[in-house]
A and B are shown apart, each in its own frame.
Chain A
Amino acid sequence: MWNYENRLEFPVNIKEPNAKLAQVIISQYGGPDGEMGASMRYLSQRYSMPYKEVAGLLTDIGTEELAHLEIVAAIVHQLTRNLSMEEIEKSGFAPYYVDHTVGVWPQSAGGFPFSASQFQVTGDPITDLTEDLAAEQKARTTYDNILRLIKDPDVCEPIKFLRMREVVHFQRFGEALRITQDHLDSRNFYAFNPAFDRCEDCDDK
């Protein structure tokens, strides 16, 4: 289960609305490498993770991603707060506005809706963890791309924080992959899938 803490993991206090920026940052809400996909990926992969310490890490990183989802939503919300009709038309926000007004809906910067096909649960620990490593780098690249488009320090600071967390998660997933491999046959990590196959000769802890 989960408990809610009534605060953001990192503060968001944006004074100047900017609908143009909101349209690119929303990609980290519901886009292909965004926080919604990240949290759903890790929280769904836990069930087929045979090693308790790694399953625990998936829960904790998946939980932190939910806090990041909320930070991204807060940024988009504050960037689109108190917009005039003129600003909506001028900034190219009208296509989003016509469906969602200034609500926060999970889509990519290009307008594609969030989809579970943006992530995988293969049920194979090595494959899943390798995807997780790539996912953290893809999210880091997206934040780097976003940072090149931002001038406002009120928006920069929380985005820099989120970017930094991708790097830390990448590090932890690297350790999780090593822990997983330590449980397996070093001559052939792929000899069997520890989440599915039964292997009598193996040291299956």
Chain B
Amino acid sequence: MANNETMCQKDQLLHDIGIVGFVLIELGLYLDTHPFDRNALEYFNHYSRIKQQMTKEFSMKYYPLTLELAESGKEWRWGAAPLPWEGGCV
């Protein structure tokens, strides 16, 4: 609550990661049964790159979303991240 603007940007980025992440899940299942669909393959490759960039950016700025992005200084950042089931302040 200390910094509303940061909070908004954080929630926006997490929201966008959710959208792109969903696109990848959906395309992943589709490609499992349509492994030669070139359009779907192109979409997947495109959004996969975007998701990786966004996840990295979020993890550096706010808190790590995956263990491999949890490089830490003085405090273990993975353990300090908020719990997803508690909900955000959207």
Residues of A at the B interface (CB closer than 8 Å) are 3-14, 53, 56-57, 60-61, 64, 70, 73-74, 77-78, 168-169, 172, 175-176, 179
Contact A57 B85 (CB under 8 A): no
Contact B18 A13 (CB under 8 A): no
Q: Mostly helix, strand, loop or mixed at chain B's interface?
A: helix
- Given B18, B28, B34, B81, which contacts A6 in the complex, CB threshold below 8 Å? B81
Instruction: Tell me the chain B residues, 61-90 only, with Cβ under 8 Å from chain A.
Output: 63-68, 78, 81, 84-90
A8/B85 contact (C-beta < 8 A), A53-B33, A179-B33 known: yes
Contact B18 A175 (CB under 8 A): no
Contact A5 B87 (CB under 8 A): no
A14 CA to B85 CA, complexed, in Å: 10
Contact A4 B33 (CB under 8 A): no
Which of chain A's residues have a CB closer than 8 A to the CB of B34? 175
Which of chain B's residues have a CB closer than 8 A to the CB of A14? 87
8 closest Cβ contacts across the A-B interface?
A74-B85, A175-B33, A13-B87, A57-B32, A8-B84, A7-B84, A6-B65, A172-B29
A139 CA to B89 CA, complexed, in Å: 30
Instruction: Tell me the chain B residues, 7-33 only, with Cβ under 8 Å from chain A.
Output: 14-15, 17-18, 21-22, 25-26, 28-30, 32-33
Question: How many Å from the CB of A108 to the closest CB on chain B?
Answer: 21
Which of chain A's residues have a CB closer than 8 A to the CB of B65? 5-7
Contact A9 B85 (CB under 8 A): no
Q: How many positions in chain B have a CB within 8 Å of any CB in the partner chain?
A: 30
Contact B90 A168 (CB under 8 A): no
Question: How many Å from the CB of A177 to the closest CB on chain B?
Answer: 10
A70/B85 contact (C-beta < 8 A), A11-B18, A60-B28 known: yes
A77 CA to B84 CA, complexed, in Å: 11
A14 CA to B87 CA, complexed, in Å: 8
Contact A9 B64 (CB under 8 A): no
A13 CA to B89 CA, complexed, in Å: 8
Contact A3 B67 (CB under 8 A): yes
Could you name 16 residue pairs across A and B whose Cβ atoms are closer than 8 Å?
A: A3-B66, A6-B78, A7-B14, A10-B18, A12-B85, A13-B89, A13-B90, A53-B33, A57-B29, A64-B29, A73-B85, A77-B86, A78-B85, A169-B29, A172-B30, A176-B33
Contact B87 A78 (CB under 8 A): yes
Contact A74 B33 (CB under 8 A): no
A4/B66 contact (C-beta < 8 A), A12-B87, A74-B85 known: yes
